Structure 1
């Protein structure tokens, strides 16, 4: 049934997150204790909460979003394009702009959100950060009371599982096995915190995030057994 979905009704997205503070010592003592409690089962005995803080961006309670990149297909006659844009910088402002996009262009029942591992990470993370920042959830992220078939979320990792709940496959590996050309990336996810806090290079992170959006769309096309996007079909829009 995947091939029956209208590509123009899908918003592909990816987020990049970092710890809320550049280092553990910047946290209030009470928050340091909460961090230690939150991560006690993830950390090995020899790893202190301070050493583990570089991973704080994974948790919405201790991290923040610095970039949301989105992409969508535009089809006209026989022409196809994939338009990519990003919201970045101040978290509250980027969340407001992303919410506005959903409300103005992707709010109908036919519209879907798609991300790789989105159901476990991107979608709930965005929702939690909106609540933390005092923003009302847009309909597409407000799951309360919805039946499973009413949730308008697609997840390329879940689609690849084919019902196997134990299986985790990274976007990079999935792109490789599906024969999707690897983009020329100069960083990976483990470098985002350093690039943000040490190098102060948000533009580099935005470019990386946008490449992941394009790759997610390419994976989705391959799952539908359709022709991959060419470089000429990918457009950066403001």
Structure 2
């Protein structure tokens, strides 16, 4: 059965960039048709995609960025969707285009075509850096030689950096703007390098809406009780005695 995963644009850890760290090791073979859906989103607010555009990639043809048989792409997804890479069948992954501070993101590499050695084993590593809007390196986000794949590579397989995934979470004091993420895949056996790049826009978190203060009126309220006027007193005439 052929598997399929969808990557939608709305926006494990070796070291977290300006956040926590977590490491997991797990690899599974994958034969898939890859569908990439692109639409603007702000993952922290979890808004729905607007007018998505879908592109389908066939692993036999590879991804647009390539070096010989090695091809791949770099995507930013919500951390919560990393588990979709371990599930069989069709899956939908939201590619993050915009994010607010505090959103937990994962930087994923999906690739095909690594070369195996005479034992059928491929070894792929990657480097990754994140750059601020001013072009400077973001924090300590200069990662080198992270493991993306070490194992058997069946024909037509699509792989990802499941054993080492960098997590990204922006802090409130980080300047808003476009952050550029650059990565290079290294196919050790095939002696090929594949540079990849993507970006994410950090937007300012919207302030909470101010609650309207209750209106107060000066003087008596129209709903205030009004005292009834006293009834007029009856006047009695004295009768004259004759």
Q: Give the TM-score of the pair, scaled to structure 2.
A: 0.21
Question: Higher helix proportion, which one?
Answer: 1
Q: Give the TM-score of the pair, scaled to structure 1.
A: 0.22
The structure with higher relative contact order (CA 8 Å, sep 6+) is 1
Question: Higher strand proportion, which one?
Answer: 2
Q: Kindly name which structure, 1 or 2, has the bigger radius of gyration based on alpha carbons.
A: 2
